[in-house]
Amino acid sequence: MQRKQFIQQSAFALAMLSLYRSNLFAKAPLFRAYQFKPLRNDIGVFTEQGGTIAWLNNPNGFVVVDAQFPATAPHVIEELKKLGEKPFRYLLNTHHHGDHTGGNIAFKGLAEHVVAHQHSLANQKLTAEKANNLDKQLLPDMSFGNNGWNTKVGKEKITAHYFGAGHTNGDAIYHFENANIAHVGDLVFNRRFPFIDTANGADITSWIVVLEKTMKQFDKDTLFVFGHSLDPEKITGNKEDLKAFQHYLQSLLAFVGNEIKAGKSKDDILKATTIPNAPEWQGDGIARSLNAAYAELTMVKS
């Protein structure tokens, strides 16, 4: 009887060990489910959770654009430190949302400067004060206005552009000029329904103009880094992708405007599952676009 129990218990233990190991390996990607990869000219991207991070590995130091969340930012820091003992010269924020600045705190005592547009700084501070978590923020110590900002790190010149309200009222574009790579943050949601933060100054009509100015600013060889993408492998693209997203916003306003003119109620408009003439834009969150467009158009109308 004891031998039988021993065999049963041993078999059970082996089964549990096998299950544990299977689960461990199955869950392993969750612990390092991120991508850290180069693009060109010592600039690369990092993706895990939240907005896309861009990084510069320069002999004179590191530059990081956006910081995702407190739990993920240490991963990009860890990967960069593997590339050499260098200072973190700048942390650049495209805008204030938590999936882009929540991880700023991981750079406390590490980044020499944190940079953002003045509206982004104000939004981040106000949002944190409302949430009573200002102590969990690392706010920018350098901010700029509508004329932008620039600096040099080694041979790489970095220029910040601000073209007006879009996704928020404080979206900046950071251009690594030698590499000709521009991080546009959430000014582009690539084939994914965007978040339009009307509470923090988003303006669809202005956003369309901002994208037009962006396309005029950069050339056909510019590689753009997007804040979000429906396909996680397509977080970079070209001017055609900017043009396509601009077309999405134009189609959104046209659709909602026509529905309003036809006497449709807001509830009826919110039943839409796609935007006519822009079927590539998918995912969840179409209601955010419809609500924002309805609010903007009815405000103009009144």
Which residues does residue 46 pair with via DSSP β-bridges, in sequence order?
36, 53
> Per-residue pLDDT tens for 154-199?
999 999 999 999 999 999 999 999 999 999 999 999 999 999 999 9
pLDDT value of residue 33? 86
pLDDT value of residue 26? 33
Q: 31-238: what fold?
A: Metallo-beta-lactamase; Chain A (3.60.15)
pLDDT value of residue 300? 53
pTM of the predicted model, to two decimals?
A: 0.88
> Per-residue pLDDT tens for 102-147?
999 999 999 999 999 999 999 999 999 999 999 999 999 999 999 9
> Per-residue pLDDT tens for 38-84?
999 999 999 999 999 999 999 999 999 999 999 999 999 999 999 99
How much is the mean pLDDT over the chain? Answer: 91
pLDDT value of residue 91? 98
